[in-house]
Amino acid sequence: AQKVTQAQTEISVVEKEDVTLDCVYETRDTTYYLFWYKQPPSGELVFLIRRNSFDEQNEISGRYSWNFQKSTSSFNFTITASQVVDSAVYFCALSEPTGNQFYFGTGTSLTVIP
Amino acid sequence: DAMVIQNPRYQVTQFGKPVTLSCSQTLNHNVMYWYQQKSSQAPKLLFHYYDKDFNNEADTPDNFQSRRPNTSFCFLDIRSPGLGDAAMYLCATSRERGSTNIQYFGAGTRLSVL
């Protein structure tokens, strides 16, 4: 079973629009960590955020915000006033204490059109 | 400045010809990982080193080997590349093992097999 689901394969928005990238996860652990990474065309996966399962506070960092809801097992990512430089593939990932790897979702490819 | 450096960025090899990909890190992290990422897919963990302790994922083909001569360097050896091994190979590091640890990625090496 897929531990992390990113149902949106590709999204296109016009510059300055807001966009939300969905992430749904599945785990039986009560302690776990969720991550978002950005992969621009250059290929490097860039860390954006880490959130532990006990901290349900939403987080805002500049134009980025994250909405963590344990009740729906979701960890959605919103970009406000999108810019062309936001064009990338975004991966959501889950890390469980029993293992040592990230369970990545399949990624959402975001294209911001100028 | 890049903290996880992968060389080369692009590698072309012939079917069956051994190839080695290189990764170095300036973070002094204990753990180094190798991922394989095929087009439009999530990164897939091949193996990781915790210090000198090698940990292979169960489904990693025997064709893939790794060496970590010291803390800073880790190599991925593909003994007999097949066409199906063409992919982006990502190296990552983390300070320690466990779900809390952020993984920092290099820019990747894109391998082509002719």
Is B32 within 8 Å of B46 (Cβ atoms)?
no
Mean pLDDT across B10-37 = 96
The predicted structure's pLDDT at residue A99: 64
What confidence tier does B10 reach under pLDDT thresholds 50, 70, 90?
very high
Alpha-carbon gap: B57 to the closest alpha carbon of chain A (Å): 10
The predicted structure's pLDDT at residue A1: 59
Q: Cβ of A46 and B43 within 8 Å? A: no
In this predicted structure, the answer to whether residue B88 has a pLDDT above a threshold of 90 is yes
Mean pLDDT across A13-35 = 94
Is A14 within 8 Å of A113 (Cβ atoms)?
yes
Query: What percent of chain A has pLDDT above 90?
Result: 75
Mean pLDDT across B20-32 = 96
Whole-angstrom Cα distance, residue A25 to residue A52? 13
In this predicted structure, the answer to whether residue B1 has a pLDDT above a threshold of 80 is no
Chain A residue numbers touching B97 (CB-CB < 8 A): 100
In this predicted structure, the answer to whether residue B101 has a pLDDT above a threshold of 70 is yes
The predicted structure's pLDDT at residue A102: 82
Peptide bond into B8 cis (omega under 30): yes
* Among candidates B33, B90, B102 on the partner chain, residue whose Cβ is nearest the Cβ of A50: B102
Both tokens of A5, joined, read 């689901």
Is B49 within 8 Å of B75 (Cβ atoms)?
no
Chain B residue numbers touching A42 (CB-CB < 8 A): 107
What confidence tier does B12 reach under pLDDT thresholds 50, 70, 90?
very high
Collect all residues from A whose CB is shorter than 8 A from any CB in B.
Answer: 31-33, 35, 37, 42-47, 50, 52, 91, 95-97, 99-102, 104-107, 109
B53-81 residue pLDDT tens: 999 988 899 999 999 999 999 999 999 99
**DSSP β-ladder status, A74-79 and A33-39:** unpaired
**Three-class SS state of B114:** coil
Any A CB within 8 A of B58 CB: no
Q: Cβ of B100 and A32 within 8 Å? A: no
pLDDT, mean over chain A: 92
* Among candidates B45, B50, B108 on the partner chain, residue whose Cβ is nearest the Cβ of A43: B108
Both tokens of A37, joined, read 């990474």
The predicted structure's pLDDT at residue A38: 96
A59-114 residue pLDDT tens: 888 999 999 999 999 999 999 999 999 999 999 999 987 666 789 999 999 999 99
In this predicted structure, the answer to whether residue B99 has a pLDDT above a threshold of 80 is no
Any A CB within 8 A of B104 CB: yes
